[in-house]
């Protein structure tokens, strides 16, 4: 889950902030950095965490199609 999402998040934040500093006159104030990192983190990692937490619950309620308990 986080093995693929965490590096993408870190690189995206770093490149986005680097481009902001290089191509704008505004720089990157700490509040902007925190909001950008937080919103990207929720978008890139939040759904993965929810899926990891809820997926076993959803699967537990359904019978396995390959098991002998499944209706024919």
User: Cα 47 vs. chain centroid, distance in angstroms?
Assistant: 6
Rounded Cα gap, residues 43 and 49, in angstroms: 11
* pLDDT for 29 beyond 70: yes
Contact 8, 16 (CB under 8 A): no
- pLDDT tens per residue, range 1-22: 567 788 888 999 999 999 999 9
- pLDDT tens per residue, range 17-26: 999 999 988 7
* pLDDT for 39 beyond 90: yes
pTM: 0.64
Contacts of 26 (CB under 8 A, 6+ apart): 20
Please give the backbone phi and psi of residue 67, each rounded to the nearest 5 degrees, phi first: -85, 165
39 or 72: which leads in pLDDT: 39
């Amino acid at each position: 889950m986080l093995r693929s999402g965490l590096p993408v998040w870190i690189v995206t934040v770093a490149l986005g902030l680097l481009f902001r500093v290089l191509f704008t006159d505004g720089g990157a104030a700490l509040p902007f950095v925190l909001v950008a990192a937080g919103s990207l983190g929720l978008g890139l990692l939040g759904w993965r965490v929810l899926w990891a937490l809820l997926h076993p619950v959803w699967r537990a309620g359904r019978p396995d199609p390959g098991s002998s308990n499944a209706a024919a």
